[in-house]
Amino acid sequence: MNRIAAQAVSLEIAGRLILDAVSMESGPGRFTGIIGPNGVGKSTLLRIMAGLLSPTRGEALLNGSPVSRLGARALARELAYLPQETQIDFAFPAWEVVMMGRHPHLGRFSVEGRRDEEAVRRAMELTGTLHLAEQPVTTLSGGERQMTFLAKTLAQEPNVLLLDEPISALDLNHQLRALNLIRSLCREGMAAIAVLHDLNLAARYCDELVLLARGRVLAMGSPRAVLTPANLKEAYGVTAMVRTDPLTGCPHVVAFDDPSESRDDRRFHVLAGGGTAGPTLAQLVRRGASVTVGPVEERDPDAQLARALGLPVLTYPPFHHLPDGILQEAGEWLNRADLILAAPVPLGPANAALERLLKGRQVLPLGPRPQTQALLLTDLLPQKPANLEHILAS
């Protein structure tokens, strides 16, 4: 069945609630990532599912049976666990370390046979560590050691794989190799759960994500459903933009550090288009301002950026004049704004209706205006561009 689950798992230590009624599961063919800030119980949850910790309430289930009721050998034949830190004090050759993964399959007085050697060789070939077979594990680099211990877990030939930060010590090439390997094993029927800190790699390789915050599940589902600006703000306390990577088609997160300046609680409306409003939108969002955007063509880079930042954006079909309904709604958004900012967007004849909409309103231009904008809005905008830093400081 290859199914592992946490069912309403809670853990309290010394009066501190580490995990609070956490439920999640993974099944055959699924690669599940556990993400979240430091100290929210990600590794603790994985250890409970591996049978290494007993929860205060709830239970971990392997194929429907409580993990706590399974013997260590029976559990190890079905489930392999790779901890965050691997410590070994003796200079065993890497081959022997990987062979330790075969212990659950050996009797008390049995010796390794051909079947075990084949499993070890395959695991080391898959992880690219076979050339390290004779080297003492104590002489390996951190990344080489991590790949060797990954080979040890694979030599167990488990149906369920639990990995705690399996790529933390790896260079980029080996990160991709390890994640590709895990995903390919899942496609063969294995179930895998990994604690990951790189959100973009998690989004690229995992079938589903579980986002933990303050010991609880904040969000769970596909990477696109979980990695939203609102979820990332609540979990990590950062402002983030989430866009679709044009090469992978997966969500891509760009996080911004929170500035030391005080928050700006004013409402801004930004006239955008042509990809000209990016820095303005990012800076306003970082300051905690309420921002609306538009009207802008629905495929415009600024429309995509506004959506990636989680901002309300008013769009209309490309190569069309502004529909009356959009103009009316834009007027309502402008009425609610404390300040109207115009990015240096070229406005052509299709946007001529904006001239009527903006008359009588104070609009602050940002950056040099294209000639088309200067001609269209010459009576509405000051000739000297405004400085956003000065606006935010006022």
Tokens of 203: 């989004």
Q: What is the pLDDT of residue 372?
A: 45
Q: Residue 261 to residues 10, 166, 264, 377, 393: CA-CA distances in angstroms? A: 38, 37, 9, 33, 9
Return the CATH number of 267-393, one of 2.40.50, 3.30.1490, 1.10.3470, 3.40.50.
Answer: 3.40.50
pLDDT along the chain (394 residues), means of 10: 93 94 96 96 97 96 94 93 86 94 81 89 96 94 93 96 94 94 96 97 98 97 96 92 91 79 81 86 86 91 90 88 86 92 69 75 73 47 60 65
The answer to whether 128 and 156 are in contact (CB under 8 A) is no
CA gap 265, 239 in Å, rounded:
15
Task: Give the HSE-up count for residue 54: Cα atoms under 13 Å, Cβ half-sphere.
Answer: 4
Cα–Cα distance, 84 to 319 (Å, whole number): 54
pLDDT of residue 370: 53
Q: Do domains 4-232 and 267-393 have the same CATH topology?
A: yes
* Beta-strand pair 290-297/267-271: parallel
| pLDDT on residue 356 | 76
The answer as to CATH 1.25.10.10 being correct for domain 4-232 is no
Strand 79-82 and strand 31-35: pairing? Answer: unpaired
The tokens for 310 are 């989680």
pLDDT at 262: 64
- pLDDT for residue 393: 63
Q: Residue ranges per domain, the chain?
A: 4-232, 267-393
